[in-house]
Amino acid sequence: MKIGIIACGAIVRELIAIANRQEWDYELTAVPAQLHNRPEKIAPAVAEKLDAWAGRFDLILVGYADCGTGGRLDAMLERYDHVVRIPGPHCYEFYGGEAFERQQEAHLGTYYTTDFLARHFEGLVWKGMGLDRHPELLPIYFNNYTHLMYLRQSPENDQSERARDGAERLGLEYVEVDTGLDELERRLVALVNEIG
């Protein structure tokens, strides 16, 4: 089965690692991770990639959760055959699994970061949200947060120093957990097996 993967730039490394481990016959293209700061642009960007790939694959995996699109991504995907997205509201949930659920239950005001987001904190969070130019926005954006949880997918790509620095800059208590890729891989394999 030939698989196309249209991925959020924030999870490309992880999707490649899983696809290679599963020995899938696949091709991957990415959508810029910066669109998370403008979620209304995610569905049109994915649709553009899907239109370019029409008819080339037996299955197209969309490497996104809902990611703040408010259902617009799923509504757009209904127009396409053999296209499925990773189930879940956002990547923090499908990386973190039970650890995410426990943290949410204990501390609803948690800001989550991944290997990618920690590595690109300066550009995607600090500058991307305008905090470098308008520090007065910090309490407006983060007033209801109490913790920053770093979900480490890959020990060899450890970003804990950057994540800890991000927590300090945001004035949040720092927590970290090793998540690996097991939950994400389980969901992807189930999607492929369901279609295949």
Segment of 65-69, 96-100, 169-173 carrying the highest mean pLDDT: 169-173
* 83, containing H or E segment: strand 83-85
What band does 55 get if pLDDT is binned at 50, 70 and 90?
confident
C-beta of residue 113 within 8 angstroms of C-beta of residue 139: no
Residues 14 and 70 in one domain: yes
Domain count, the chain: 2
List helix spans (H) across the chain: 12-21, 42-53, 72-77, 91-106, 115-119, 138-142, 160-170, 182-195
Q: Are residues 51 and 62 in the same domain?
A: yes
Sheet holding 147-152, edge to edge: 110-114, 147-152, 173-178
* pLDDT of 176 above 90: yes
Q: Which pLDDT value is given to residue 117?
A: 94
CATH code: domain of residue 86: 3.40.50
**At 88, is the pLDDT very low, low, confident or very high (cuts 50, 70, 90)?**
confident
Question: Does one domain contain both 68 and 100?
Answer: no
Query: With 90 as the cut, is the pLDDT of residue 37 above it?
Result: no
Q: Are 18 and 7 in contact (CB under 8 A)?
A: no
Judge if 57 and 76 occupy the same domain: yes
Joined tokens for residue 52 = 């370019």
What range defines the domain where residue 189 resides? 2-90+181-195
